[in-house]
Every structure is written in structure tokens, then in C-alpha cells.
């Protein structure tokens, strides 16, 4: 998609198949729409009076201009209550508009140059469709060019590029997550990660099963041993501040298919279990964006990749294995495999020099019980300041995150009678227990676990979220790196 910018012009003269203009809730024609209203013979005023145009968040009013202005179609897109409008409002509105506009040439009037990033993110994320595997491709036409109208061409170009990089990172995560499990195996994922990293100048290390065994990553091996598709670990090292010893460690859960193992999952939802690798996809997308932005920071991303299958080799409930850091784990539940692979990943990223650690994962169904669907992901950390920093990064990009309590008593949830830790202690406190288990493998390094299982898939399209994989947490990871780079 070609995205360009022009200096502010009379909107009646803005060309393109479709012109998008944002406005907040109102009972009268806003100042920036008055020239358009006059050219259209008072049609905007009439639509507002009849409540056909309300300005409510994501509400779209469409006008066929019939030559009265240069653009063929005018879309008035609502951003909600005027005193609540922010970047997320424009991101959502742009996403909603992206699925409604007509024609190949789209022109967007920016509400301010600083919002170019959010608008571009919304347009690209909202118009995304997974290409799928149909023999006859979807022939629905999408806009191919976008012209942004702002005050400063250079500022708009800079901000829109930032938005494009962010969006492309999320789209990478979505595209990988939507791929079926027979197409995206751990090996294929590892190859994609290697190609992506090398394309962006990132140092890539790929560890196969033999190397994992040498290093003693027996938790990752235990989860992946039951599959004919062996497990992998991929480490991506971006060095943007070679003089600094600080390293941000990002770890992503990459279970490319999860049967639940011998504690097998029920039929309901089993068809979506190829999406259990979205955490790793988000980390890969974030690493791509961090490198593309050339941030002055050192970041190491670790992807722990495996299939959790059933066979004569598969690990069994009650098995004990030794993690990369030497700690032993009673693996009482084979469907709590995510925390096992992440434990080895967190320990390994610490070994690689991470001074702050953040993992992201579709970890528990329990987080949905706590927070519901489509509202917020959860955080569990061993350092209050680091947890708050991650939460603030999420807030800044419109990804809501809720910090779970971290009382010392919760450590009892992961205590085993026969090993150092146990990977499941029952339904009560399950979301907390998952986080406590993973963070324990960071030892004294500040670490935060982000559980976004309840945010990973959308059943319908709304704003810039489309049905299917969401890529939730990708932009938070990027923002965390940007904030640390400052």
C-alpha cells in the first residue's frame, strides 16, 4: 500500500475515491466540516439533526457527493465524546472506516499531524484479512493508496512511517497466528523467524532438539517430545546500544498446536489450538519493529517453539524434568505446557544477559474468568516498578493491561512435594499461579508475565480489530522498548 502526505488543503478540493473526515459527538456542524457542509448544500447539518451522523465512536455516515466536492464519497467517522478523544479513538475510527470506504484511492483528513501514526495503524490493521487457503481468492477490492492531509508534510511522513512499522509488526503476528498447525510447525516458525531477523539485521540463533538436550532445556523438550515435529528455540539479538550493558529480554510462547497432551482438551475450541503460538509471533513482530526503528537499545527475543501432542514418547502427568537453570519441575498437568516452555525461555534469556524480562503468552483460560474477553490482558511481575512500566506502555498504545496481585503467599501455589516447583495447583488462583511459576525462573532479574489468552482471538470485527488473531501485546512490547530507549 502506498501512503503519502500533502499539506492541508480545502477539503472540498481533496481528491480520491473516498474522503474520510473524523469528528466527535455533536449536535451541530463542527467548524472543520462547515465548508464541506456548504458545498453539499447543508446535507451534513441535516444528517446531524436527524441523528444519521452522531459522532459516536466508530459510527460512520456515508455521503455520495455526486460531483459537489472533488472526492466521490465522503465518510464522516465518529471518535466519541469530545473530552475523551485520544490516539486510540482515531485508531479505532480509522480501523472501522477501512472496511467501509469505496475505491482504490483513499484520502484522510488528519485531526493533527501527531495522530498520523494512530490513523495509519488503524487503516492497516482494520483492513487486514488473512488470505486463507481457498482455491478461489477473495476478490473484494481494498484501497491501494492513502493520502494523508496534514499541516506539515515532514511530520506526517515521520509519524505515518512509525504507524506503518507498528502495524506491520502486528500483521506479521496475526498472519503467523492464523496459519493452520499443519502449515506452521515449530521448524517452519523457526525458519520464518530466522529469515525475518536476518532481513532486519538481527543476529539469529536457532537451537534444534539436539542442542536443546545439550543445554538441558528439558522442560521445552518434555512438551515437544511427543510430536513428530521436534521443538526449537530461536534467539534474536538486536544491538542498538553496544556501549550499554542493559538488555531487554522478550520471551514468547510458541506452541504451534496444543492438544493438551494426555490431559487432552475437549472438542470445543480444539480447532483453534494452532493459535497457541501467538506470544512468540508477537515477540517476532516486535523485534522486527524495534530493528526497523533502529531504537538505541539492546533487545534479545526468545521464541520457544513446540507442538504438544500425544504419543508413546509424550510426557505424562506426574513426570519430573530439570529446567535449563537446574530447577526441577513436577509436571502434573500436560495441558499447562506453556509455562514449562516459557520457564526454559525465561531462564535462557537471563543467561543471554537480559537485565529486564517480559514474556507474553496465551497462557490460561483462567485469565478469561478474571478479566473477560476483549477487555484487558493480565500482568504478573516480581518488581512493582517494572510491572507498572509495562502497564503504562500498554495504556499508551491502547492495549489495556491489569496487574494481578503478587502476595508472597501465592508462591505456595507452585510448591511441589517432590520437586522444586509444580506446574499446576488447581483451578483457584490459576492465572496467578501461571505467572508466579514463569517469573520464578527469572530469579532476581525484574520480570513480568503478560497473559493475553483472553485477548488473542476476535470473533467479530470492530474498530481496528478484525475477526481472527489480534496480535495483542505486539504494540505493547514495541512501546516498552521505545520507552526504555528514551
For residues 249 and 358, is the Cβ–Cβ distance under 8 A?
yes
Active-site option among 68, 142, 265, 462: 265
Q: List 234's β-bridge partners, or say none.
A: 206, 303
364's grid cell: 490460561
Q: List 61's β-bridge partners, or say none.
A: 76
Pairing type for strands 60-64 and 319-322 reads unpaired
Active-site option among 174, 237, 293, 339: 339
3-state secondary structure 307-333: EECCCCCCCCCCEEEECCCCCEEEECC
Residue 258 assigned ligand-binding role: yes
- Interatomic CA distance for residues 485 and 299, integer angstroms: 10
- Told to judge if 339 belongs to the known catalytic residues of this protein, a careful annotator would answer yes
- Residue 429, phi-psi category: left (phi > 0), alpha (psi -120 to 50), beta (remainder): left
Provide the residue count of the chain.
Answer: 486
Residue 335 assigned ligand-binding role: yes
Q: What is the CA radius of gyration of the chain?
A: 24
Residue appearing with cell numbers 530493528: 291
Label residues 449-476 b or e (16+ Cβ within 10 Å = b).
bbbbbbbbbbeebbbbbbebbbbbbbbb
- For the chain, the maximum distance between any two Cα atoms, rounded to a whole number of angstroms, is 80
For the annotated binding site, the residues are 253, 258, 276, 335, 337
Residues with catalytic annotation? Answer: 265, 339
For the annotated binding site for Mn(2+), the residues are 253, 258, 276, 335, 337
Amino acid at each position: 500500500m502506498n501512503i503519502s502526505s500533502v499539506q492541508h488543503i480545502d477539503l472540498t478540493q481533496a481528491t480520491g475515491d473516498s474522503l474520510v473526515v473524523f469528528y466527535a459527538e455533536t449536535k451541530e456542524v463542527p467548524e472543520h466540516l462547515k465548508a464541506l457542509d456548504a458545498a453539499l448544500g447543508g446535507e451534513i447539518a441535516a444528517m446531524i439533526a436527524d441523528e444519521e451522523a452522531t459522532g459516536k465512536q466508530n459510527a460512520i455516515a456515508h455521503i455520495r457527493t455526486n460531483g459537489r466536492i472533488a472526492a466521490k464519497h465522503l465518510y464522516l467517522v465518529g471518535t466519541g465524546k469530545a473530552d475523551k478523544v485520544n490516539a486510540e479513538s482515531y485508531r479505532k475510527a480509522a480501523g472501522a472506516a477501512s472496511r467501509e470506504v469505496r475505491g482504490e484511492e483513499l484520502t484522510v483528513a488528519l485531526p493533527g499531524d501527531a495522530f498520523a501514526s494512530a490513523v495509519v495503524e488503524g487503516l492497516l490493521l482494520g483492513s487486514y484479512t488473512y488470505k486463507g487457503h481457498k482455491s478461489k481468492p477473495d476478490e473484494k477490492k481494498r484501497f491501494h493508496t492513502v493520502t494523508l492531509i496534514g499541516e506539515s508534510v515532514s511530520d506526517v511522513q515521520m509519524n505515518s512511517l512509525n504507524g506503518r512499522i507498528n502495524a506491520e509488526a502486528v500483521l506479521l503476528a496475526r498472519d503467523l497466528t492464523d496459519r493452520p498447525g499443519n502449515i506452521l510447525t515449530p521448524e517452519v516458525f523457526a525458519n520464518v523467524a530466522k529469515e525475518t531477523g536476518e532481513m532486519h539485521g538481527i543476529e539469529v540463533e536457532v537451537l534444534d532438539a539436539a542442542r536443546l538436550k545439550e543445554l538441558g532445556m528439558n522442560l521445552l523438550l518434555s512438551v515437544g517430545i511427543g510430536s513428530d515435529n521436534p521443538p526449537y528455540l530461536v534467539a534474536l539479538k538486536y544491538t542498538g546500544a553496544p556501549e550499554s550493558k542493559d538488555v531487554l529480554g522478550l520471551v514468547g510462547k510458541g506452541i504451534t498446536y496444543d492438544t493438551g497432551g494426555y490431559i487432552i482438551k475437549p472438542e470445543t475450541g480444539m480447532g483453534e489450538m494452532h493459535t497457541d503460538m501467538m506470544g512468540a509471533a508477537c515477540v517476532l513482530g516486535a523485534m522486527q519493529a524495534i530493528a526497523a526503528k533502529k531504537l538505541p537499545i539492546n533487545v534479545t527475543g526468545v521464541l520457544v517453539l513446540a507442538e504438544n501432542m500425544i504419543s508413546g514418547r509424550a510426557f505424562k502427568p506426574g513426570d519430573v524434568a530439570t529446567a535449563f537453570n537446574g530447577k526441577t519441575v513436577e509436571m502434573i498437568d500436560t495441558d499447562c505446557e506453556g509455562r514449562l516452555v516459557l520457564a526454559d525461555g525465561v531462564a535462557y534469556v537471563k543467561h543471554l544477559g537480559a537485565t529486564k524480562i517480559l514474556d507474553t503468552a496465551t497462557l490460561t483460560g483462567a485469565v478469561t474468568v478474571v478479566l473477560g474477553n476483549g477487555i484487558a490482558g493480565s500482568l504478573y511481575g516480581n518488581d512493582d516498578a517494572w510491572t507498572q512500566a509495562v502497564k503504562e506502555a500498554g495504556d499508551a498504545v491502547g492495549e489495556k493491561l491489569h496487574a494481578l496481585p503478587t502476595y508472597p503467599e501465592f508462591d505456595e501455589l507452585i510448591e511441589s512435594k517432590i520437586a522444586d516447583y509444580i506446574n499446576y495447583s488447581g483451578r483457584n488462583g490459576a492465572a496467578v499461579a501461571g505467572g508466579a511459576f514463569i517469573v520464578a525462573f527469572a530469579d532476581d532479574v525484574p520480570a513480568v508475565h503478560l497473559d493475553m489468552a483472553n485477548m488473542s482471538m476476535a470473533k467479530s470485527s470492530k474498530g481496528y480489530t478484525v475477526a481472527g488473531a489480534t496480535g495483542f501485546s505486539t504494540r505493547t512490547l514495541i512501546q516498552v522498548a521505545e520507552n526504555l530507549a528514551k
